[in-house]
Chain A
Amino acid sequence: MRGGEAIIESLKKMGVETIFGYPGGQTIPLYDMLYDADINHILVRHEQAAAHAADGFARASGKVGVCLATSGPGATNLVTGIATSFMDSSPIVAITGQVPTHLIGNDAFQEADIIGITMPIVKHSFQPKDPNLIPSVIKTSFDLATSGRPGPVLIDVPKEVQEGELTDFNENLIQTNGYNPTLKGNPRQIKKASELIKQAKRPLILVGAGVILANACDELSEFAHLINAPVMTSLLGKGAIDENDELALGMLGMHGRKVSNDSINECDLLIAIGIRFSDRTTGRLDSFVPDSKVIHIDIDPAEIGKNVEVDLPIVGDAKNILKSLNNLFKGYSVSGDVNSWTDKIKQRKIDLLPRVTYDDVPLKPQTVIKEISEVLTPDSILTTDVGQNQMWAAHFYNTQKPRKFISSGGLGTMGFGFPSAIGAKVACPDDPVVSINGDGGFLMVCQELATVYDYDIPVIAMVLENRTLGMVYQWQSLLYDGRHSQTEFKDSPDFVKLAESFGVNAVRVEKPGETKEALKSAIKDNEAILIDVIIDSEETLPMLPPGAGINEMIGEYKLEKDVI
């Protein structure tokens, strides 16, 4: 068996069925071995899309996503995707070709020090220089990518290692003595947490993607109901609790739901789970939960106290810890104070439901998201790009299950929406997958229309077309005297014709009701389609200006109850 065959064999042993990649000079041996291999390879049209697709696959399935690129430019094209998965703790394994070992360091053709370049954005990396190491390296990479706080692992394989014969297929894990994630929460800390919860009069739960990554969503919902506390999420925490649950308030943060942003500072106990308190979630830190004690549960000890001062930390896996907490609260009778606080917040949630009913043309983005919500089932997957389209989706779409809302949170990567949907669809072929994009981000990755056509991947790509780079445009409108520097497209391609030129169906939507019809028939047809939605370019979401506290939103927050 040769090195490349060992890569394929090891991936199969790890349960990998599909990899996303793009060949090049230093991966020709591996691609030659893939030619007869019993593993699917999806040829994307740009390596960045391979990384995003692997990421989307990982987020939708909870399994490792795998991408493959050649050395040099192939590898550097993966960088944005690797950084995206690193910031959002998504488990991917990126395999790159490298120039033959004897040429490393000589500035050989298509040589780049991808190990060095990606050092700050990977959980770990390997460069096996002996084919016998490959099975162990792959197995260890999967273990590192998925255990503890998940993240990307890079494997850089010199060309001659792909070709070299193995003498032995040894798949023992490589010893990593310095890596021992804490999984079990300290029982004494958990006991103390339960006491703080019992003393609290106005508790709130704030959850991030950690709860989804730990598969702890059932435990979270049980916990919230046992202690009768309202639940807010970060952007990436969407889906950790069914957003139709009366305790679920929705997203907190710079473009968060008003009920969340208005209520957070009223709590006297914040129970934060699997969340890293990003600046986009908290607003200005010194005015964030000033009168509250904070319990922080996270698997990464470095997140405790990094941004928000914590009264009681519990390091460990959210699922274990929530189970222990739930055991302590079995049959617990919630105090009258807590019940009346939670009743008040539930009522506030109803009063502050954001307005989604409009009959305007050009379409309000709210209308579009509302119609999407009406069509999609709880198992449908929504991926978003970055910018206004992302915030509209996050704000107005109620996610009901974990792993059904996929978005680039930490890095905020434009161009993520469409390729991540390709990965999600490969992971969940039976569920509708819709990607919401802006016209800016979609044009960064529109070449992937060729991929969905070639492999018949029935992704529904929606382009909310406002002919601006909406988020920056909005900041310029609100904070820079309307000086729209480089954020208005003079002209845009005809997105319908663009898709059709790739062989992909497309339809344009301009009036209320049309989004719904287009989506319904797209889901029924189960073919890739682009839906070009012409929207109002002046519509904005209320936001926190930079440096403002979480409850200091600017801009009018329109309410559903005011619709006559």
Chain B
Amino acid sequence: MDVKYHVISTLVENKPGVLQKVSGLFTRRDFNIDSITVGESEVDGLARMVITVKADDKILEQVTKQLNKLVDVIKIKDISKNAVKRELCLVKVNIPNEKARAEIMQYVNIFRAKIVDVTEETLIIEITGDMEKTNAFISLLKGYGIKKISRTGLTAMARGV
């Protein structure tokens, strides 16, 4: 069966241990979790988790059903098909020379990224976008020497009403 990335938006009780329950379920059932982001939702006491998984249809069905069985999980939706997907990434990159600095600043402009910290030898760049955009940006910077990458993982929201 076709293995694809799926983005699952999950509304859960905002209580200690819930993240552990959800991530533990993935480990126990041998499901492949790619990223998970958590934050408060629009409802008091509830948090929204956005989980990306690599799975075929059968595994995706099991993931959804098993998550649904957790008492603390309120609602689950697969929003892979029509959603705004964003990830925030911080990259610390070396600046070997002035030419490199100029080139990097151009890439930053093209990708609508932001420079958030400057020293003589390094820059920290903040970029937001879907994973493809972030990956493309990172690969452009590789030649200059990346010192650190910190990615939040994908968060997402279904389009429309």
Contacts and interface: CB of A to CB of B under 8 A. Distances in A.
B and A form one assembly:
yes
Interface of A: 115-116, 119-120, 123-124, 144, 176-179, 300-302, 305-306
Given A178-B12, A178-B13, A302 B20 contact: no
Interface of B: 12-13, 17, 20-21, 24-25, 28, 58, 61-62, 65-66, 68-75
Contacts of A302: 62, 65-66, 68-69
A177 B69 contact: no
Contacts of A176: 71
B58 A116 contact: no
B24 A178 contact: no
12 contacts: A116-B20, A119-B20, A119-B21, A144-B71, A177-B13, A177-B74, A178-B12, A178-B74, A301-B68, A302-B66, A302-B68, A305-B61
A486 B71 CA distance: 43
B148 to A, nearest CB: 30
Given A178-B68, A179-B71, A305-B61, 10 more contacts: A116-B20, A119-B24, A120-B28, A123-B71, A144-B71, A178-B13, A300-B69, A301-B68, A302-B66, A302-B69
A179 B74 CA distance: 7
A300 B75 CA distance: 17
A144 B13 CA distance: 17
Q: Which of A124, A176, A302 has the most CB of B within 10 A?
A: A302
Contacts of B61: 305
A177 B58 CA distance: 26
B60 to A, nearest CB: 12
A77 B62 CA distance: 31
Contacts of A115: 17
Contacts of A179: 71
A176 B24 CA distance: 20
A120 B12 contact: no
Nearest to A306: B62
Contact of A178 (B25, B58, B72): B72
A147 to B, nearest CB: 11
Contacts of A144: 71
A178 B12 CA distance: 8
Contacts of B25: 120
B30 to A, nearest CB: 12
B77 to A, nearest CB: 14
A207 to B, nearest CB: 22
B150 to A, nearest CB: 27
A-B complex: 4 closest residue pairs judged by Cβ atoms: A302-B65, A178-B74, A124-B71, A179-B71
A120 B25 CA distance: 7
Nearest to A181: B69
Contacts of A119: 17, 20-21, 24
A177 B70 CA distance: 11
Nearest to B10: A178
A301 B65 contact: yes
Nearest to B17: A115
B62 A178 contact: no
A120 B71 contact: no
Contacts of A120: 24-25, 28
Contacts of A300: 69
Contacts of B13: 177-178
Nearest to B63: A302
A302 B65 CA distance: 5
Nearest to A179: B71
A119 B25 CA distance: 9
A176 B66 CA distance: 17
Nearest to B73: A178
Contacts of B71: 123-124, 144, 176, 178-179
A177 B44 CA distance: 13
A182 to B, nearest CB: 11
A233 B74 CA distance: 34
Most chain A C-beta atoms within 10 Å of own C-beta, residue among B62, B69, B74: B69
A348 to B, nearest CB: 35
B138 to A, nearest CB: 35
- Residue from B25, B61, B71 having most chain A Cβ neighbours under 10 A: B71
Contacts of A301: 65, 68
Contacts of B73: 178
A124 to B, nearest CB: 5
